[in-house]
A = this chain, B = another copy of it.
Amino acid sequence: MSFEASTSLAEQIADYIGQQIITGQLKDHERIQEQKFAKQLEVSRGSVREALLILEARHLIDIIPRRGAVVSALTIQHVENFYEVVIVLYVLLAQKVATIWKDDDLKPFMEMAREMRELVANKDQKEFFSMTFKFGQKANPLVKNTYLEEILVNLAPVALRTRHVADTVNQYSMEESLEFNNNIIDGVRDRNMDVIKKVVVDYYTKQRDLVIAAIRESEASAVEVS
């Protein structure tokens, strides 16, 4: 059996197509043309098909019988549902870190928060954006819950996509991220479960509302144009 080679190629193709969905280059309901990507990336259609299954598991595309793959719509309903789930999982992850950390376990998080502060000073939004997600991922090797980790890995692309949408209508996105990092580190360090819950709920509820506002705005401008 040789899963690793084919999986890693499919993963790369999935990342490539996924990035276009996350950044909005591929839009809601847009058809993903298997043959086009196979040709463009010089890979087999089988590999693209495998990548599409990965993207489906990551909630970025829908595979519709007899129609093929299309970009999943990010409706207000989807956004509400998504935040409902990730909020409880992020609370669980952070509370778990708070329960188990010892010695220097929190040092990498503090170090990362410091680096992110510098990125804000340098207005390096792109690097900051990618680091935001590494911050959360750092918790997984500490918590060692493979079920939770896999769920969060599968939800991460939608988290990137919604964050991308929220940032289009939020000029203080980086500053608020920084504040969130500091607050969550404090709560985890103090092992204060109520603080952790409140910090996560407040931050992501606000982010959710921004995403919804952005979707409403783009719907309104679409109506104006038509």
Question: A residues touching B (Cβ–Cβ < 8 Å)?
Answer: 1, 3-4, 34, 49, 53, 57, 59, 63, 65-66, 68-69, 77-78, 81-82, 84-85, 88-89, 91-92, 96, 144-148, 150-151, 154-155, 158
Of A3, A82, A145, chain B has the most CB atoms within 10 Å of the CB of A3
The 7 closest A-B pairs by CB, nearest first: A81-B145, A4-B65, A1-B68, A85-B147, A88-B88, A3-B63, A85-B148
B81 touching A85, Cβ below 8 Å: no
Query: How many copies of the polypeptide does the oligomer hold?
Result: 2
Which of these, B34, B81, B150, contacts A148 with CB under 8 Å? B81
Question: A59 to chain B: closest CB distance in Å?
Answer: 6
Cα(A12)–Cα(B72), bound, Å:
26
Question: A192 to chain B: closest CB distance in Å?
Answer: 19
Cα(A222)–Cα(B21), bound, Å:
51
7 intermolecular pairs with C-beta atoms under 8 Å apart: A1-B49, A78-B146, A84-B145, A84-B148, A85-B145, A88-B91, A147-B158
Given A4-B65, A57-B57, A69-B1: A81 touches B49 (CB 8 Å cut-off): no
A92 touching B84, Cβ below 8 Å: yes
Question: A100 to chain B: closest CB distance in Å?
Answer: 12
Of A34, A91, A144, A151, chain B has the most CB atoms within 10 Å of the CB of A151
B34 touching A1, Cβ below 8 Å: yes
Cα(A135)–Cα(B148), bound, Å:
24
Residues of B within 8 A of A34 (CB): 1
Cα(A150)–Cα(B82), bound, Å:
12
A147 touching B65, Cβ below 8 Å: no
